Amino acid sequence: MPEIKVVNMAGGEVGKINLSDAVFAADVNGAVLHAAVKNYLGNQRQGTQSTLTRTEVSGGGRKPWRQKGTGRARQGSTRSPQWTHGGVALGPKPRSYRTKLNKKVRRIAMISALSAKVRDDSMIVIDNIKTEEFKTKIMVNMLAAVGAGKKALVVLAEPDEKVYRSLTNIPGVKVALSNTINVYDILNCDTLVTAQAAAQKIEEVYAE
């Protein structure tokens, strides 16, 4: 059972928390993590890219020269793909990149991502993330005090507008609730900074 120290916003240790082996000390499944990241990134794509085929490019209705007798290759249209300003052969068209992962795979991926952060000592638990004013400097000082990296994912237990808006002004910092975190954001950050209540909520959801 991994034991992680709990710090306050000033970086001082105020206690320790024992985390579930089933959620924070499981085997890291690389194949499942890859599938989850690929699924997430694919689902973010709009799939609206579209090239013009030869039928969609204006012009080209007249045959450029007669079929035979010129010594040149036969051509039917100046909008064929081999011509400058012609259509694109086999280019991208609007499509959906969405894929599905079953519930069991999503759970294994999340547990693997959380366990990887704990294994690498990249998870920081703060007793209470709170501010009484909209002030980015308070959050900057907090992240510096607890030793967070340049890219940090801050996980809150409950929505807090003041904390959220103060954190989202900081480059490289992303904020999420305990019920909205995803595998890609966890793996993509240098440090996972979570409120103690948020860590306990995550444990409740994913523990067997």
68 HSE (CA, 13 A, CB side): 0
DSSP per-residue letters across 103-124: HHHHHHHHHHHHHHHHHTT-EE
- Asked if 9 contacts 142 with a C-beta cutoff of 8 angstroms, the reply is yes
What is the per-residue pLDDT across 52-88, written as a single tens digit (0 to 9) for each?
999 999 999 999 999 999 999 999 999 999 999 999 9
DSSP per-residue letters across 68-94: SSSSSPP-S-TTSTTSTT-PPTT----
Token pair for residue 116?
A: 């990887």
Residue that is written with structure tokens 């004013």 in the block:
133
What is the per-residue pLDDT across 131-182, written as a single tens digit (0 to 9) for each?
999 999 999 999 999 999 889 999 999 999 999 999 999 999 999 999 999 9
Q: How many helices (H) and strands (E) does the chain have?
A: 7, 6
Q: Give the distance, in angstroms, between the CA of residue 44 and the centroid of all CA atoms in the same chain.
A: 9
Query: Tell me, what's the pLDDT at 135?
Result: 92
The reported pTM is: 0.83
Query: pLDDT confidence of 106, banded at 50, 70, 90?
Result: very high
Fold of domain 3-44+100-206:
Ribosomal Protein L4; Chain: A; (3.40.1370)
Query: Tell me, what's the pLDDT at 149?
Result: 84
DSSP state of 67: S
Query: Counting every residue, how long is the chain?
Result: 208
Q: Where in the chain is the domain with CATH 3.40.1370.10?
A: 3-44+100-206
What average pLDDT does the chain have? 94
CA separation for the pair 152, 174 (Å, rounded)? 6
Query: pLDDT confidence of 46, banded at 50, 70, 90?
Result: very high
CA separation for the pair 96, 106 (Å, rounded)? 21
